[in-house]
Copies of this chain bind each other. A is one copy, B any other.
Amino acid sequence: MSLYIAVDIGGTQTRAACYPADSLKPVRLSRTTTHAADPTDQRTEPLERIQDLIASIWPKRDSVRAISVAAPGPTNPYSGVVYQAPNIPSWEDVPLRQSLQERFNVPVEVGNDANLAALCEWKFGAGHGHRHLVYLTISTGIGGGVIIDDKLLLGVHGLAAELGHTTVVYDGPVCSCGQRGHLEAVASGTALAHWVEDQLSQGSSSILPLHRRITARMISEAARKGDQLSLAALARAGCFIGCALASFLHIFNPTVVVIGGGVSRSGPLLLGPMYESMQEHVIDPHYLEDLKLTTAVFGDKAGLVGALALAHTLHP
């Protein structure tokens, strides 16, 4: 039997799984912390830890057709170089493909995790059967992936589809990237939390605690209990995302928009205002014709199954 090995490198945790060529069910799955938790750990470098993790699930009898990796940052899928990984500060221009190819001697593919999540939803999930897909993942940051005519939008260095880093509020709040007014700066989980903290410190009433670090999850839970400030925060983020989605409809004219990421699990409290805002901001009803707006199917498995989808596509 011939197997694929898929790897999802997260900021905190890295997972690797071994899949038969015709299945989404891994025959072997293992995980490790991306950074050594214990300073006496022999393997402290994330790259070494990833290699060990792959070795630990390497099949004894079966052959490996390809290794495919979802990387947590801007990545060049042609050269296999990870330009940056926000949660792995030591990574800059890391030749991930080359390192793994030298160590394991099988074909290696590398992609950006949000792009691969889009590929995953298109191939196996919420966007199956659609030729034009826009995927947005809303968590700490906002990532994107786009399928055009059944192909992943990559651009010349594979840096396309950074939908979270499009300016929506000119000269607006500072983004994680240092620029201002990006979608991520006004509607990510981090932006939600900042806004609520600001409102609390200005005296807004809420069941959320003053002078403590607020998270998007806390806001989501408070909103479900009817907390007005939290509801307003989600509605506000939904408005911005809906407005940006309208721009993405004008740019891509897709048939499906898939929303993933932790914050999207706030459900209708975020997605309702988002959908309304998208409809309000569209310039022509033709953009809404045959358009499906839906949530992602794969949740936090999107990176892993996305890496598998990439392997399927390139090494069928």
Chain A residues close to B by CB (< 8 Å):
74, 83-84, 131-132, 148-149, 151, 153-163, 165-170, 172, 177-179, 181, 186, 240, 243-244, 246-247, 250-255, 281, 283-284, 286-287, 289-290
Residue pair B168, A252 in contact (C-beta under 8 Å): no
Contacts of A160 in B (CB 8 A): 250-253
Residue pair B250, A286 in contact (C-beta under 8 Å): no
Partner of A148, one of B148, B157, B178: B148
Contacts of A84 in B (CB 8 A): 284
> Do A253 and B159 contact each other (CB < 8 Å), given the known contacts A167-B168, A172-B170?
yes
Residue pair B170, A169 in contact (C-beta under 8 Å): yes
Residue of chain B at shortest CB distance from A177: B283
Instruction: Report how far A289 CA is from B156 CA in the complex, Å.
Output: 10
Partner of A163, one of B179, B251, B290: B251
Contacts of A156 in B (CB 8 A): 131-132, 253-255, 290
> Do A254 and B155 contact each other (CB < 8 Å), given the known contacts A284-B74, A286-B74?
yes
Residue of chain B at shortest CB distance from A130: B156
How many copies of this protein are present in the complex? 2
Instruction: Report how far A167 CA is from B251 CA in the complex, Å.
Output: 11
Instruction: Report how far A10 CA is from B263 CA in the complex, Å.
Output: 46
A169 CB → nearest B CB, Å: 4
A21 CB → nearest B CB, Å: 27
Contacts of A287 in B (CB 8 A): 157, 159
> Do A155 and B167 contact each other (CB < 8 Å), given the known contacts A84-B284, A160-B252, A281-B179?
no
> Do A165 and B250 contact each other (CB < 8 Å), given the known contacts A159-B284, A170-B240, A287-B159?
yes
Residue pair A168, B165 in contact (C-beta under 8 Å): no
Partner of A252, one of B155, B243, B281: B155
Residue of chain B at shortest CB distance from A83: B286
Instruction: Report how far A252 CA is from B186 CA in the complex, Å.
Output: 22
Instruction: Report how far A166 CA is from B287 CA in the complex, Å.
Output: 14
Residue pair A283, B179 in contact (C-beta under 8 Å): yes
Instruction: Report how far A167 CA is from B169 CA in the complex, Å.
Output: 8
Residue pair A253, B157 in contact (C-beta under 8 Å): yes
Give the interface centre of A84, A158, A161, A281 by most chain B CB atoms within 10 Å. A281
